[in-house]
Amino acid sequence: MLEFTDANFDQEVLKSNVPVLVDFWAAWCMPCLKIAPIVEELSKEYDGKMKFGKLNVENSQSVSRQYGIRSIPTLLIFKDGKVATQIVGMQPKRKLQEKISELI
């Protein structure tokens, strides 16, 4: 799992040649902490086909504002530098797998 920030977001996410799942989170967010292990598992399952990373909304407020993140956890999946899908709130692994399968 990568750590995305305001500084590396453009290079790591927008210019990526594979789809990228960005987990917008904060340390105080209980649902964020619950979904984190699921995202970690998915990152291993889709290794080489998709990039996975976390973006702390408190530390990277510019990117969070740019994409209108108002509720966390929010997962955005980027493809070709654009948001391809958005998932808000705690979701079961199966639903996340379905969304990912549509994009890879």
User: Is 95 part of the annotated catalytic residue set?
Assistant: no
29 is catalytic: yes
> Which member of 13, 21, 22, 32 is catalytic?
32
Q: Is the dihedral angle over the CA atoms 53, 55, 60, 64 positive or is it negative?
A: positive
Give the integer Cα–Cα distance in Å for 17 and 99. 18
**Sequence-separated (6 or more) residues with CB below 8 Å from residue 60:** 4, 5, 6, 9
| Catalytic annotation, pick one of 1, 2, 26, 29 | 29
Catalytic residues: 29, 32
